[in-house]
Amino acid sequence: MEVIDQYLSYLRYEKHYSEHTISSYKKDLHHWNEFLGTHNKPVFEATYKDVRLFLNHCHHQKLARTTVGRKMSAIKMFYRFHIGEGVMQVNPVTLVKGAKRGSSLPKFLYEQEMEALFEAVDKEDALGIRNYALLELLYATGIRVAECCELELSDFDFERGMLRVFGKGGKMRYVPIGEFVMEAMRRYLLEAREALAKKSKIKTEMIFLNNRGTALTDRGVRDILKRLTEKTAQNIKLSPHVIRHTFATHLLNNGADLRAVQELLGHAFLSSTQIYTHVSKDRLKEIYDMAHPRANRAK
């Protein structure tokens, strides 16, 4: 649909949203448009009542609250854009209360689970060396998968131990990188990347390449992590965002300042980072045992 494509182009070229986000918005907006089509309602004639009917439709489809909340956000922003363009005057989503997301905490891995993942990587060939460097980088920096896939060779500063990252909306930030990830990245760049690059006639400055020599995609990263978890004997549902959660959780559990973690994650608001102030059960028990006068008889 042309008006949806126009809006997605705005997100891509003006707002610099990631392709993953744009893909999600496209799916949600087409779902909304198809629903309106079954009721013979043009997209710019939708009303509050139509939105309520759509929410009921989503409920019957047994969609997760987070999914419905994302759809409402996408539709609301779509209409806000076209109001700004003078196409319509009233946003039909404005009066609808967003779907409550529930209070589930972000999933993260314990340190021993991360160690098991690192040990599961076979570093004997170019792809294995790449996978190890990728895992080290994601865990060491907490960057988003889209940010990782868009990294170029010039974004690494090995001398200063810093990584330049372009986040949501094209906002740039610098993230420090430690010795483990620098060692893994040096080996990847020296021993593996060139071998992978030779498989493609098209030269690219993107750091991470796939087995065809072209830029690794976010789907490719997810597949790599899925295969790694299959090599471990652990029941882990791993995604790039779980590693991002793990990065933040481990920093805070070891005494990092919340605002520093906010800066590292590239969060615009501190409220987005505060969800990570939970601590693991083991860490909570450790704090209790050390701090409470009657936690154990040895005191």
Rg of the chain, C-alpha, whole Å = 23
Q: Which amino acid is at 291?
A: A
- Whether residue 144 lies in the annotated active site: yes
Q: Is the dihedral of CA 56, 60, 65, 69 positive or negative?
A: negative
Q: What CA–CA distance (Å, rounded) separates 206 from 193?
A: 10
Catalytic residue among 82, 173, 187, 241: 241
Catalytic residue among 123, 144, 193, 245: 144
The two structure tokens encoding residue 82: 């076209």
Residue that the structure tokens 């005191």 belong to: 299
56 to 35, 53, 100, 255: CA distances (angstroms)? 11, 5, 15, 45
Catalytic residue among 17, 132, 139, 276: 276
- Whether residue 276 lies in the annotated active site: yes
Contacts of 276 (CB under 8 A, 6+ apart): 106, 245, 248, 249, 252, 258, 261
Catalytic residue among 164, 168, 222, 278: 168
Catalytic residue among 70, 130, 193, 267: 267
Helices (DSSP H) in the chain: which residue ranges? 2-13, 19-38, 48-60, 65-84, 111-120, 126-141, 145-149, 179-187, 193-197, 218-231, 240-253, 258-265, 270-273, 281-291
Q: C-alpha 111: how far from its chain's center?
A: 20
- Whether residue 15 lies in the annotated active site: no
- Whether residue 250 lies in the annotated active site: no
- Whether residue 65 lies in the annotated active site: no
Q: Are 165 and 141 in contact (CB under 8 A)?
A: yes
Catalytic residue among 31, 71, 130, 244: 244
- Whether residue 299 lies in the annotated active site: no
The two structure tokens encoding residue 183: 């060692």
Smallest CA-to-CA distance from 264 within 133, 191, 131, 162 is with 162
Question: Torsion angle, CA of 155/156/161/167, rounded to 10 degrees?
Answer: 40
Active site (catalytic) residues: 144, 168, 241, 244, 267, 276
